[in-house]
Protein backbone atom coordinates (compact mmCIF):
# COMPACT_ATOMS: atom_id res chain seq x y z
CA UNK A 1 0.00 0.00 0.00
CA UNK A 2 1.34 3.41 -0.93
CA UNK A 3 1.94 5.73 1.98
CA UNK A 4 -0.15 8.68 0.91
CA UNK A 5 0.84 11.93 2.49
CA UNK A 6 -2.05 14.03 3.77
CA UNK A 7 -2.73 17.51 2.45
CA UNK A 8 -3.77 20.53 4.50
CA UNK A 9 -4.72 24.08 3.53
CA UNK A 10 -3.94 26.45 6.40
CA UNK A 11 -5.21 30.01 6.78
CA UNK A 12 -2.92 31.52 9.39
CA UNK A 13 -4.92 34.59 10.42
CA UNK A 14 -4.47 37.29 13.02
CA UNK A 15 -7.68 36.30 14.78
CA UNK A 16 -8.31 32.73 13.61
CA UNK A 17 -6.42 29.72 12.33
CA UNK A 18 -8.47 27.64 9.92
CA UNK A 19 -7.46 24.34 8.39
CA UNK A 20 -9.17 22.52 5.54
CA UNK A 21 -8.53 18.89 4.72
CA UNK A 22 -10.42 17.17 1.91
CA UNK A 23 -13.71 19.03 1.72
CA UNK A 24 -13.85 19.49 5.48
CA UNK A 25 -13.06 22.41 7.77
CA UNK A 26 -10.86 20.39 10.11
CA UNK A 27 -9.95 23.18 12.52
CA UNK A 28 -11.18 26.69 13.27
CA UNK A 29 -10.10 28.37 16.49
CA UNK A 30 -8.91 31.76 17.68
CA UNK A 31 -5.19 32.30 17.12
CA UNK A 32 -4.50 32.90 20.79
CA UNK A 33 -1.87 31.43 23.10
CA UNK A 34 -1.58 31.27 26.89
CA UNK A 35 2.06 31.07 27.92
CA UNK A 36 4.03 30.84 31.14
CA UNK A 37 5.95 34.09 30.97
CA UNK A 38 9.16 32.86 32.63
CA UNK A 39 9.63 29.73 30.57
CA UNK A 40 7.83 30.84 27.40
CA UNK A 41 5.95 27.55 27.69
CA UNK A 42 2.63 27.10 25.92
CA UNK A 43 -0.08 26.16 28.44
CA UNK A 44 -3.12 26.52 26.21
CA UNK A 45 -3.98 27.58 22.67
CA UNK A 46 -7.04 28.26 20.58
CA UNK A 47 -10.41 28.74 22.26
CA UNK A 48 -9.12 27.40 25.57
CA UNK A 49 -6.48 30.15 25.68
CA UNK A 50 -8.93 32.82 24.58
CA UNK A 51 -11.27 31.90 27.45
CA UNK A 52 -8.43 32.69 29.85
CA UNK A 53 -8.15 36.27 28.59
CA UNK A 54 -8.18 38.72 31.48
CA UNK A 55 -8.57 35.91 34.03
CA UNK A 56 -4.98 34.80 34.67
CA UNK A 57 -2.29 35.67 37.25
CA UNK A 58 0.74 37.69 36.09
CA UNK A 59 2.77 34.49 35.63
CA UNK A 60 0.64 33.63 32.60
CA UNK A 61 0.23 35.79 29.54
CA UNK A 62 -2.56 35.46 26.99
CA UNK A 63 -1.39 36.78 23.62
CA UNK A 64 -1.96 36.78 19.90
CA UNK A 65 1.17 35.49 18.15
CA UNK A 66 0.23 37.29 14.92
CA UNK A 67 -0.26 41.02 14.59
CA UNK A 68 -1.80 42.56 11.49
CA UNK A 69 -1.41 39.34 9.58
CA UNK A 70 2.30 38.78 10.24
CA UNK A 71 4.08 36.67 12.85
CA UNK A 72 4.98 38.71 15.90
CA UNK A 73 6.03 35.74 18.05
CA UNK A 74 7.79 33.13 16.01
CA UNK A 75 8.33 30.50 18.70
CA UNK A 76 4.73 30.50 19.88
CA UNK A 77 3.44 30.34 16.30
CA UNK A 78 5.65 27.34 15.64
CA UNK A 79 4.44 25.62 18.83
CA UNK A 80 0.79 26.21 17.93
CA UNK A 81 1.29 24.92 14.37
CA UNK A 82 3.12 21.90 15.64
CA UNK A 83 0.36 21.03 18.14
CA UNK A 84 -2.16 21.60 15.39
CA UNK A 85 -0.45 19.39 12.82
CA UNK A 86 0.03 16.65 15.42
CA UNK A 87 -3.60 16.85 16.49
CA UNK A 88 -4.92 16.74 12.94
CA UNK A 89 -2.67 14.02 11.59
CA UNK A 90 -2.90 11.61 14.51
CA UNK A 91 -2.15 8.70 14.60
CA UNK A 92 1.41 9.64 13.83
CA UNK A 93 2.49 8.92 10.30
CA UNK A 94 5.85 8.44 8.82
CA UNK A 95 5.51 11.43 6.53
CA UNK A 96 4.40 14.83 7.68
CA UNK A 97 1.49 16.35 5.74
CA UNK A 98 1.89 18.47 2.64
CA UNK A 99 0.81 21.96 3.57
CA UNK A 100 -0.09 25.15 1.74
CA UNK A 101 -0.25 28.06 4.17
CA UNK A 102 -1.17 31.70 3.63
CA UNK A 103 0.77 34.92 4.09
CA UNK A 104 -0.66 38.41 3.54
CA UNK A 105 0.04 40.01 0.16
CA UNK A 106 3.18 42.13 0.18
CA UNK A 107 4.94 40.76 3.27
CA UNK A 108 8.71 40.92 3.30
CA UNK A 109 10.77 37.87 2.37
CA UNK A 110 11.88 37.67 6.02
CA UNK A 111 8.26 37.50 7.13
CA UNK A 112 7.29 34.88 4.57
CA UNK A 113 10.38 32.79 5.31
CA UNK A 114 9.40 32.83 9.00
CA UNK A 115 6.02 31.29 8.15
CA UNK A 116 7.62 28.71 5.86
CA UNK A 117 10.19 27.80 8.49
CA UNK A 118 7.56 27.62 11.25
CA UNK A 119 5.36 25.21 9.34
CA UNK A 120 8.31 23.00 8.39
CA UNK A 121 9.59 22.95 11.97
CA UNK A 122 6.05 22.15 13.07
CA UNK A 123 6.23 18.81 11.30
CA UNK A 124 4.92 19.28 7.78
CA UNK A 125 6.63 17.18 5.15
CA UNK A 126 6.41 19.78 2.40
CA UNK A 127 5.36 23.39 2.82
CA UNK A 128 4.25 25.99 0.28
CA UNK A 129 3.19 29.58 0.72
CA UNK A 130 0.35 31.41 -1.00
CA UNK A 131 -0.77 35.04 -0.80
CA UNK A 132 -4.03 35.34 1.11
CA UNK A 133 -6.05 37.13 -1.62
CA UNK A 134 -4.94 34.57 -4.22
CA UNK A 135 -6.04 31.71 -1.95
CA UNK A 136 -9.34 33.49 -1.24
CA UNK A 137 -10.01 33.96 -4.97
CA UNK A 138 -9.37 30.26 -5.63
CA UNK A 139 -11.54 29.38 -2.63
CA UNK A 140 -14.50 31.31 -4.06
CA UNK A 141 -13.94 29.87 -7.54
CA UNK A 142 -13.24 33.14 -9.33
CA UNK A 143 -12.04 32.38 -12.89
CA UNK A 144 -8.50 33.53 -12.12
CA UNK A 145 -6.95 31.29 -14.78
CA UNK A 146 -8.32 33.47 -17.58
CA UNK A 147 -6.98 36.75 -19.02
CA UNK A 148 -9.83 38.69 -17.43
CA UNK A 149 -10.12 40.88 -14.36
CA UNK A 150 -11.23 39.45 -11.00
CA UNK A 151 -11.26 41.52 -7.85
CA UNK A 152 -11.37 40.37 -4.28
CA UNK A 153 -11.15 42.13 -0.93
CA UNK A 154 -10.18 40.21 2.22
CA UNK A 155 -11.58 41.94 5.28
CA UNK A 156 -9.64 40.25 8.05
CA UNK A 157 -9.30 41.06 11.70
CA UNK A 158 -5.80 42.51 11.50
CA UNK A 159 -5.39 43.34 7.83
CA UNK A 160 -7.33 44.35 4.76
CA UNK A 161 -6.15 43.11 1.39
CA UNK A 162 -7.52 44.14 -1.97
CA UNK A 163 -6.34 42.41 -5.12
CA UNK A 164 -7.01 42.06 -8.83
CA UNK A 165 -6.15 38.67 -10.29
CA UNK A 166 -5.73 37.25 -13.77
CA UNK A 167 -3.80 34.33 -15.31
CA UNK A 168 -3.21 32.65 -11.92
CA UNK A 169 -1.47 35.65 -10.43
CA UNK A 170 -1.91 39.00 -8.74
CA UNK A 171 -1.98 41.93 -11.18
CA UNK A 172 -2.46 44.72 -8.65
CA UNK A 173 -2.91 44.58 -4.89
CA UNK A 174 -2.41 46.34 -1.63
CA UNK A 175 -2.42 45.37 2.03
CA UNK A 176 -3.45 47.72 4.79
CA UNK A 177 -2.31 46.60 8.22
CA UNK A 178 -5.68 47.34 9.79
CA UNK A 179 -8.97 45.45 9.73
CA UNK A 180 -11.85 44.39 11.94
CA UNK A 181 -9.90 45.11 15.12
CA UNK A 182 -9.68 48.76 14.05
CA UNK A 183 -13.46 48.86 13.86
CA UNK A 184 -13.55 47.62 17.48
CA UNK A 185 -11.00 50.24 18.54
CA UNK A 186 -13.11 52.95 16.91
CA UNK A 187 -16.08 51.83 19.01
CA UNK A 188 -13.94 51.96 22.18
CA UNK A 189 -12.93 55.55 21.35
CA UNK A 190 -16.48 56.60 20.47
CA UNK A 191 -17.96 55.26 23.73
CA UNK A 192 -15.24 56.96 25.77
CA UNK A 193 -15.75 60.32 24.07
CA UNK A 194 -19.54 60.28 23.98
CA UNK A 195 -20.37 58.58 27.28
CA UNK A 196 -17.18 59.03 29.31
CA UNK A 197 -17.10 55.23 29.61
CA UNK A 198 -14.15 52.93 29.26
CA UNK A 199 -14.90 49.59 27.60
CA UNK A 200 -12.61 46.78 26.51
CA UNK A 201 -12.00 45.65 22.94
CA UNK A 202 -13.95 42.43 23.48
CA UNK A 203 -17.02 44.41 24.52
CA UNK A 204 -16.57 46.70 21.53
CA UNK A 205 -16.40 43.67 19.23
CA UNK A 206 -19.65 42.36 20.75
CA UNK A 207 -21.30 45.70 19.99
CA UNK A 208 -20.12 45.40 16.38
CA UNK A 209 -21.24 41.77 16.05
CA UNK A 210 -24.64 42.19 17.71
CA UNK A 211 -25.87 45.56 16.42
CA UNK A 212 -23.14 46.96 14.13
CA UNK A 213 -23.51 47.81 10.46
CA UNK A 214 -21.60 49.63 7.74
CA UNK A 215 -24.56 51.83 6.76
CA UNK A 216 -27.72 52.88 8.67
CA UNK A 217 -30.24 50.04 8.80
CA UNK A 218 -34.01 50.16 8.45
CA UNK A 219 -34.37 48.40 11.75
CA UNK A 220 -32.36 50.18 14.38
CA UNK A 221 -31.14 47.85 17.13
CA UNK A 222 -29.51 48.57 20.45
CA UNK A 223 -27.39 46.86 23.06
CA UNK A 224 -26.70 47.65 26.69
CA UNK A 225 -23.05 47.54 27.68
CA UNK A 226 -21.25 47.86 30.96
CA UNK A 227 -18.27 50.17 31.15
CA UNK A 228 -16.14 51.93 33.69
CA UNK A 229 -16.75 55.61 34.36
CA UNK A 230 -13.76 57.56 33.10
CA UNK A 231 -13.81 59.91 36.09
CA UNK A 232 -14.69 57.86 39.18
CA UNK A 233 -13.80 54.39 37.87
CA UNK A 234 -17.15 52.92 38.86
CA UNK A 235 -19.12 50.57 36.64
CA UNK A 236 -21.95 52.18 34.68
CA UNK A 237 -24.15 50.99 31.80
CA UNK A 238 -24.83 52.67 28.46
CA UNK A 239 -27.03 51.81 25.49
CA UNK A 240 -25.50 51.87 22.03
CA UNK A 241 -27.62 51.88 18.87
CA UNK A 242 -26.89 50.69 15.34
CA UNK A 243 -26.76 54.30 14.14
CA UNK A 244 -24.13 55.10 16.75
CA UNK A 245 -22.06 52.06 15.78
CA UNK A 246 -22.19 53.12 12.11
CA UNK A 247 -21.01 56.59 13.09
CA UNK A 248 -18.29 55.20 15.37
CA UNK A 249 -16.82 52.96 12.66
CA UNK A 250 -17.09 55.46 9.83
CA UNK A 251 -13.41 56.38 9.65
CA UNK A 252 -11.89 52.87 9.54
CA UNK A 253 -14.66 51.81 7.14
CA UNK A 254 -13.64 54.59 4.79
CA UNK A 255 -10.01 53.47 5.09
CA UNK A 256 -11.12 50.08 3.73
CA UNK A 257 -12.78 51.82 0.78
CA UNK A 258 -9.60 53.80 0.13
CA UNK A 259 -7.34 50.72 -0.10
CA UNK A 260 -9.79 49.17 -2.56
CA UNK A 261 -9.98 52.37 -4.57
CA UNK A 262 -6.18 52.58 -4.80
CA UNK A 263 -6.01 49.06 -6.19
CA UNK A 264 -8.73 49.87 -8.76
CA UNK A 265 -6.70 52.91 -9.79
CA UNK A 266 -3.61 50.75 -10.32
CA UNK A 267 -5.54 48.19 -12.37
CA UNK A 268 -4.90 48.15 -16.12
CA UNK A 269 -7.94 49.56 -17.97
CA UNK A 270 -8.40 46.31 -19.93
CA UNK A 271 -9.32 44.55 -16.71
CA UNK A 272 -11.59 47.20 -15.23
CA UNK A 273 -14.61 46.45 -17.44
CA UNK A 274 -14.57 42.79 -16.31
CA UNK A 275 -14.50 43.90 -12.69
CA UNK A 276 -17.44 46.23 -13.24
CA UNK A 277 -19.36 43.34 -14.88
CA UNK A 278 -18.48 40.72 -12.30
CA UNK A 279 -18.34 42.83 -9.17
CA UNK A 280 -15.91 42.81 -6.26
CA UNK A 281 -15.96 39.68 -4.08
CA UNK A 282 -15.94 40.51 -0.37
CA UNK A 283 -14.39 37.88 1.92
CA UNK A 284 -13.13 37.63 5.51
CA UNK A 285 -15.08 38.02 8.73
CA UNK A 286 -15.49 41.75 8.12
CA UNK A 287 -17.52 41.06 4.97
CA UNK A 288 -20.27 39.79 7.29
CA UNK A 289 -20.88 43.25 8.72
CA UNK A 290 -24.45 44.09 7.65
CA UNK A 291 -24.50 46.53 4.76
CA UNK A 292 -20.82 46.09 3.91
CA UNK A 293 -21.64 45.15 0.30
CA UNK A 294 -23.99 48.12 -0.15
CA UNK A 295 -21.49 50.47 1.49
CA UNK A 296 -18.64 49.41 -0.80
CA UNK A 297 -20.88 49.50 -3.88
CA UNK A 298 -22.03 53.03 -3.06
CA UNK A 299 -18.58 54.39 -2.21
CA UNK A 300 -16.76 52.81 -5.17
CA UNK A 301 -19.43 52.88 -7.83
CA UNK A 302 -18.57 49.25 -8.61
CA UNK A 303 -20.87 46.44 -7.42
CA UNK A 304 -19.51 44.54 -4.43
CA UNK A 305 -21.01 41.31 -3.12
CA UNK A 306 -20.61 38.97 -0.14
CA UNK A 307 -19.32 35.51 -1.12
CA UNK A 308 -20.93 32.27 0.12
CA UNK A 309 -17.92 31.15 2.18
CA UNK A 310 -16.35 34.38 3.45
CA UNK A 311 -14.43 32.95 6.41
CA UNK A 312 -13.38 29.55 5.06
CA UNK A 313 -12.50 30.44 1.45
CA UNK A 314 -8.86 31.21 2.25
CA UNK A 315 -8.10 27.79 3.75
CA UNK A 316 -10.18 26.09 1.04
CA UNK A 317 -8.27 27.98 -1.63
CA UNK A 318 -4.94 27.11 -0.02
CA UNK A 319 -5.76 23.40 -0.20
CA UNK A 320 -6.91 23.72 -3.83
CA UNK A 321 -3.73 25.68 -4.47
CA UNK A 322 -1.65 22.57 -3.67
CA UNK A 323 -3.34 20.75 -6.52
CA UNK A 324 -2.86 23.74 -8.84
CA UNK A 325 0.75 24.23 -7.82
CA UNK A 326 2.17 23.84 -11.33
CA UNK A 327 -0.07 26.67 -12.56
CA UNK A 328 0.52 28.95 -9.60
CA UNK A 329 4.18 28.29 -8.96
CA UNK A 330 5.64 31.35 -10.69
CA UNK A 331 3.31 33.68 -8.87
CA UNK A 332 3.76 32.41 -5.31
CA UNK A 333 5.91 34.20 -2.71
CA UNK A 334 9.55 33.11 -2.92
CA UNK A 335 11.06 31.45 0.15
N1 LIG B 1 -20.85 39.07 11.60
C2 LIG B 1 -19.80 39.87 11.65
N3 LIG B 1 -19.94 41.20 11.49
C4 LIG B 1 -18.87 42.02 11.54
N5 LIG B 1 -17.62 41.61 11.74
C6 LIG B 1 -17.42 40.30 11.90
C7 LIG B 1 -18.48 39.35 11.87
N8 LIG B 1 -17.96 38.12 12.07
C9 LIG B 1 -16.64 38.30 12.24
N10 LIG B 1 -16.30 39.59 12.14
C11 LIG B 1 -14.99 40.21 12.31
O12 LIG B 1 -14.10 39.63 11.39
C13 LIG B 1 -12.78 39.70 11.92
C14 LIG B 1 -12.14 38.34 11.80
O15 LIG B 1 -12.10 38.03 10.45
P16 LIG B 1 -11.20 36.84 9.90
O17 LIG B 1 -11.55 35.61 10.62
O18 LIG B 1 -11.36 36.86 8.43
O19 LIG B 1 -9.75 37.38 10.35
P20 LIG B 1 -8.34 36.68 10.28
O21 LIG B 1 -8.26 35.89 9.01
O22 LIG B 1 -8.05 35.95 11.52
O23 LIG B 1 -7.39 37.96 10.24
P24 LIG B 1 -6.38 38.48 9.12
O25 LIG B 1 -6.83 37.95 7.79
O26 LIG B 1 -6.47 39.97 9.18
O27 LIG B 1 -5.04 38.00 9.52
C28 LIG B 1 -12.91 40.13 13.36
O29 LIG B 1 -12.55 41.50 13.46
C30 LIG B 1 -14.38 39.94 13.66
O31 LIG B 1 -14.85 40.85 14.63
MG1 LIG C 1 -7.61 36.25 7.08
Same-domain check for residues 200 and 221? yes
pLDDT at 95: 81
pLDDT at 146: 95
Same-domain check for residues 245 and 188? yes
Q: Which residues pair with 223 in a beta bridge?
A: 240
Q: Which of 11, 111, 156, 176 to mutate to test the pocket of ligand 1 (most atoms within 8 A of CB)?
A: 156
Same-domain check for residues 166 and 125? no
State how far the Cα of 307 lies from the Cα of 311, in Å rounded to an integer.
Answer: 9
pLDDT tens series, the chain, 335 aa: 445 679 999 999 999 999 999 999 999 999 999 999 999 899 999 999 999 998 999 999 999 999 999 999 999 999 999 999 999 987 766 689 999 999 999 999 999 999 999 999 999 999 999 999 999 999 999 999 999 999 999 999 999 999 999 999 999 999 999 999 999 999 999 999 999 999 999 999 999 999 999 999 999 999 999 999 999 999 999 999 999 999 999 999 999 999 999 999 999 999 999 999 999 999 999 999 999 999 999 999 999 999 999 999 999 999 999 999 999 999 999 88
C-alpha angle 5/93/11, rounded to 5°? 60
State how far the Cα of 166 lies from the Cα of 218, in Å rounded to an integer.
Answer: 38
Residues whose Cβ atom is located within 5 A of ion ligand 2:
13, 156
Same-domain check for residues 184 and 241? yes
Q: Is the CB of 14 under 6 A from ligand 1?
A: yes
DSSP single-letter state for residue 4 = P
Same-domain check for residues 225 and 269? yes
pLDDT at 178: 95
Same-domain check for residues 122 and 175? no
DSSP single-letter state for residue 90 = P
Task: Answer whether 107's CB lies under 8 Å from 333's CB.
Answer: yes
Question: By residue range, what is the domain housing residue 123?
Answer: 7-134+316-331
The CATH number given to whatever domain includes residue 281 is 3.30.420.40
Same-domain check for residues 161 and 124? no
pLDDT at 1: 43
Decide if 2 is inside a domain: no
pLDDT at 2: 46
Task: Answer whether 127's CB lies under 8 Å from 329's CB.
Answer: no
Dihedral of alpha carbons 156, 13, 211, 239, sign: negative
Same-domain check for residues 20 and 57? yes
Total structural domains in the chain?
2
Same-domain check for residues 151 and 272? yes
Amino acid sequence: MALLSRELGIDLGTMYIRVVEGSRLAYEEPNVAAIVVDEQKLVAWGKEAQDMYGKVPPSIEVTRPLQNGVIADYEITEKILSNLIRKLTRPARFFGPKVMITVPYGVTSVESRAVHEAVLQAGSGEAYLIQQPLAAAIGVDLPIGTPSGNMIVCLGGGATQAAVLAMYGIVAAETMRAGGMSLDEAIVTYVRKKYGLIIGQLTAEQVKLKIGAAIPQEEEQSIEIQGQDQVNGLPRPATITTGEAVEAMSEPLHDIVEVTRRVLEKTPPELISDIIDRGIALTGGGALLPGMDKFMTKELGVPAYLVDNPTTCVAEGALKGLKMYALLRRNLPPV
